[in-house]
Each structure stands twice: as C-alpha cells, then as structure tokens.
Amino acid sequence: MEESEFEQQIKEYEDTMFGLILYHETSPKWVQKLQKTSYKNMKRRGEKALKNAKRILLDAKKSKTVQNQFEYFEWPIIIDEMRFRIDLLLSCYQQLFPERPKEKPLEKEEIVSLRNEAMSRLPY
C-alpha cells in the first residue's frame, strides 16, 4: 500500500469517527443512555487507532522502510448496520452544513434537522 492510500484511509476513518459522534448525538436520549458504554469504548478504540495510524504515517515519512506497516494496520470494525447509519448521517451533515466546523457541537435544532434529513433518505 502506498503512503497516499494510507493517508486516505486515515481521513476516511476520521470521518467515520465524526459519523460515530453524529450517530450518538442524533439518537434519542434514552438510546444514548443505553449505548453510553459501547459508544465510549468505540470512540476510545477509534481514537487510539487514529493515533497509531498517524504515528505510523509519520514514521514512514521519516524512514521509507516503515511503509510495509501500512499493510498490517487494522482499523477497528464497525458493524454494517451502524456503518450504514454513520455514512447516511455524514452525507446529510455535509449537505446541510457544508461549511460548519466539525469541532463545534451541534445545536438542538441542527440535531433535529440532521435526524429528519437522514430519516427522509431511508430506503424503507
């Protein structure tokens, strides 16, 4: 795998982690409470994986002999059902809030808009 491909994987996983935040924030409060531990564990594993991936990338930029580590790096698994919703929420977010900084917490009205847009795109 090339360095640029690994950089792209990092960017995609950063988006996935942001989508995980959207997934959690757009869930009803009672669901958030039920999934709190799972969400925190998934977020922690994802952040750790991103940190490790960025370290490997930095090491590879310094020493070309490290590049083979790209092939063996494994991203934490996200189940298909959750992946579908994460991708849907990311797409809706990008459409509704194209210039909005991801670091800024969503307002209640934005959460409702995002949830409604996602629901309108569901295939069933």
Each residue's pLDDT, cut to its tens digit, for the chain (124 residues) gives 788 899 999 999 999 999 999 999 999 889 889 989 999 999 999 999 999 999 999 888 888 666 677 888 899 988 888 899 999 999 999 999 999 999 999 999 999 999 999 999 988 7
Q: Is residue 33 within 8 Å of residue 26, measured between CB atoms? A: no
Domain total of the chain: 1
- Give residue 71's domain range: 3-121
The pTM for the full model equals: 0.86
Residues 14 and 72: their CA atoms lie apart, in Å, by 19
